[in-house]
Structure 1
């Protein structure tokens, strides 16, 4: 029967388009807990990720800080694909597969076969009879009525099946069409840093890696035709069988009165043969033009059909090795910190495509064959200054990845395709990102606001991002930090994220944990982060 890989692989997880910059979204635990703020509020070891100039906004007694390791992960399911896929995989797909399970003795496949056998038996009983053999011959009429009764029984069972099959396939194709093209995206980040803050000179060395992916399912028109074709084909078969059994009843009533002519008998015999050899109209599928029912039975293409719906995945991994420098300057009697992070970048692009009936495993070689690696130089530049009567307020501005570059992805071999096929890959452009921040850094509390100054296009099919965020931290005796935040995406509606977290920092050791989620629906977006470090 129809192979389950897309109806279970894509239902368990999808042209070349232009793919753009990833979101401004460092994965540190403190910033994530505070709504992903940090351009004016990040602490020493986090400064390279948010704004290198903050290295010169540290307190006078700050010495150095080490951050190792830091991990974070987030997943966004904007169209709630996962729930739909799980429901289909748990309910609809097993029901659909059961229609064709050879191990079953009572299912749609077997009922179609029984209808074929009954119509064939009726034809065999008629074949070779003459009008004289039928008219007023009780034994012959009784035998033919018994064959017709068997056909009516088989027809009743198939008719009942058709309603169930029609409802099932309508719901299945409706669900698949509802999520076709919708994205499922995620982000994984890890980093480490060592920072030496200072007013006159500050520096940091940082190493970070971020993997961003976007995937989608594409439910093809050919597979839609196939799934909906079963009920349509069975309806046509049942209609022919119904006409046969009704016409045959009329003929047998005439036979009891001796009124059957040779022409009538020939016509009903031909009708019985045509029904037993019923072949449905052809439909266009991944296997070409096929008939769901052929010679009265499900065709081999219908029982074990090829599918050409696809799962497509685009990903980009960016590794940065940066050295940050910062210094405080005086402009118009205002002290402004300026920081710069020149960095080496390694960018790996990934483009992977699989067809519905591919049931192989994804191994390391598959991923290597689907990826391209690039090395380049890039730079971040930031500025910040303190203001207010007590210098507790900080304004920050940063531009990240100021050298824009476009990367190619490999044409992906479509795994599972009958004939070797390649799908062109997209281009991935890493463009500059600009963000401003405002923070109040009190003795016990920190409040921060960050806003993206430009819209960041998606990596592939997910929504673009332009974040506005607010966060707060309450510090208890420099030992326990309680944090909360809120972030919204100005580019789309219903894309809010609420976050919470805490830090534990006895004797310079820092352990930070954070979690975030869409407050209206956790499955739309959620994430966690963990880090440890030392501050001296």
Structure 2
């Protein structure tokens, strides 16, 4: 329980330490529930998060849409590292109060051995807001969003180091990335050669931050991730296209056309670089008023931090059933083709009384101590 509380608090803090609202993770309860899909199926209000071309795909009755807020958080602590470090810190306190007790030395070595080779702890959070105005001449969506991720890697000294030197020199390498952007998605729907297309572009401004520190296991607290900061601002572009034929759609989205990178501060074990590389995703969908099925496939991987095996590349599937535009049930599945993250199941529900107000919830599960939640509130007129 302590682990859950700590990671939840950090995920909440992430929403506010990266500027108000951003990138790699998308806070969209509908898409999150459908396996984190959306490149061909997101509505015009969520379009900038997935594919700017979808800004021009709307119903005749749509005149304006408001999304506020969209929030989401994910935590992954496969080996219960947070709980293990909490227990270790309690034992350290007892040992320092009574260092002559041999059972405490055994307990310390056992707990340190249990931390060796643990997978990294990851806590991430995102939030977003948007205002969309669909028009035949040119559709527009003004949005702001934010994302942040904290990674913590234990580095445990061998038992031969002895107590207390062993726990004093065992460390946790903590590194974090925060990202926010503000932009305007512009899109136009048109016919060409008897076919229906939409094209879109998103000029946007980005603010990136990194944090890095190495602390002893005795002093580790994941909520202290932001004590060292570097920052960088940049201009970037997203591009998108979608082809619509009866109930079928095919789409492509190019996110962050201009690749970016930012270095962390120099810590005990040097510095790292976070890469925000260009991401290309293709998608296909079958859409009806009461049923949607879709698949999104990342053609490029995402590298993230240099020096860490944290690359990801996803294949995603999602379905949605819509009961007369009042209630929606959703489910999905996500594969990481790089095998960095475990496969995850997703599900969620939407409530849209009168099709004027939409309240969406989603959750994902990838095994013990790996889960996420998201929620949206939107108004369409």
Q: TM-score range by the shorter chain?
A: 0.7 to 0.9
Cα-to-partner distance string for 1:171-216 (whole Å, 9 max, x where unaligned): 334212232xx31112211110011224442111011111122221
Return the alpha-carbon distance in structure 2 between the equivalents of residues 531 and 475 of structure 1: 17
Please state whether the residue corresponding to 2:305 is helix, strand or coil: coil
Question: Which 5+ residue runs of structure 1 have no aligned equivalent?
Answer: 1-8, 14-21, 103-107, 111-160, 231-284, 287-305, 413-421
Aligned to 2:335: 488
Aligned to 2:174: 313
Q: Name which structure has the greater RCO, CA cutoff 8 Å, separation 6+.
A: 1
TM-score by length of 1: 0.62
Return the alpha-carbon distance in structure 2 between the equivalents of residues 464 and 184 of structure 1: 15
Conserved 8 A contact 1:351-1:371: yes
Any residues of structure 2 matched to 1:364-379 within 5 Å, and which? 367=226, 370-379=228-237
Structure 1 position 493, deviation (Å): 7.4
TM-score by length of 2: 0.85
Structure 1 position 358, deviation (Å): 4.1
Structure 1 position 81, deviation (Å): 2.8
Any residues of structure 2 matched to 1:146-225 within 5 Å, and which? 168=107, 171-179=110-118, 182-221=119-158, 224-225=159-160
Any residues of structure 2 matched to 1:77-476 within 5 Å, and which? 77=77, 80-82=78-80, 85-86=82-83, 89-90=86-87, 98=94, 101-102=97-98, 109=100, 168=107, 171-179=110-118, 182-221=119-158, 224-227=159-162, 285=165, 307-358=168-219, 367=226, 370-387=228-245, 391-412=246-267, 422-459=268-305, 461=308, 463-476=310-323
Return the alpha-carbon distance in structure 1 between the equivalents of residues 319 and 151 of structure 2: 31
Runs of 4+ in 1 over 6 A off after TM superposition: 359-363
Structure 1 position 332, deviation (Å): 3.3
Deviation larger for 438-447 or 31-40: 438-447
Structure 1 position 448, deviation (Å): 1.2
Return the alpha-carbon distance in structure 2 between the equivalents of residues 495 and 362 of structure 1: 25
Residues 52 and 95 (structure 1 numbering): CA distance in 2 closer, same or farther, change over 3 Å? closer
Return the alpha-carbon distance in structure 2 between the equivalents of residues 65 and 426 of structure 1: 40
Structure 1 position 351, deviation (Å): 1.4
Return the alpha-carbon distance in structure 1 between the equivalents of residues 242 and 234 of structure 2: 27
Return the alpha-carbon distance in structure 1 between the equivalents of residues 215 and 109 of structure 2: 25
Residues 99 and 206 (structure 1 numbering): CA distance in 2 closer, same or farther, change over 3 Å? closer
Q: Which has the higher strand share?
A: 2
Return the alpha-carbon distance in structure 2 between the equivalents of residues 320 and 491 of structure 1: 27
Conserved 8 A contact 2:179-2:206: yes
Residues 427 and 316 (structure 1 numbering): CA distance in 2 closer, same or farther, change over 3 Å? same
Residues 509 and 165 (structure 1 numbering): CA distance in 2 closer, same or farther, change over 3 Å? closer
Structure 1 position 37, deviation (Å): 0.4
Return the alpha-carbon distance in structure 2 between the equivalents of residues 27 and 492 of structure 1: 23
Please state whether the residue corresponding to 1:175 is helix, strand or coil: helix
Conserved 8 A contact 1:58-1:198: no
Return the alpha-carbon distance in structure 1 between the equivalents of residues 222 and 280 of structure 2: 41
Return the alpha-carbon distance in structure 2 between the equivalents of residues 23 and 377 of structure 1: 14
Return the alpha-carbon distance in structure 2 between the equivalents of residues 516 and 178 of structure 1: 26
Any residues of structure 2 matched to 1:489-504 within 5 Å, and which? 489-492=336-339, 495-504=342-351
Conserved 8 A contact 1:315-1:349: yes
Structure 1 position 423, deviation (Å): 4.5
Q: CA RMSD in A?
A: 2.9
Please state whether the residue corresponding to 1:31 is helix, strand or coil: helix
Conserved 8 A contact 1:214-1:462: no
Structure 1 position 323, deviation (Å): 0.6
Structure 1 position 433, deviation (Å): 0.5
Conserved 8 A contact 2:89-2:218: no
Conserved 8 A contact 1:60-1:198: no
Residues 522 and 189 (structure 1 numbering): CA distance in 2 closer, same or farther, change over 3 Å? same
Return the alpha-carbon distance in structure 1 between the equivalents of residues 82 and 233 of structure 2: 38
Return the alpha-carbon distance in structure 2 between the equivalents of residues 23 and 504 of structure 1: 26
Please state whether the residue corresponding to 2:117 is helix, strand or coil: helix
Aligned to 1:511: 359
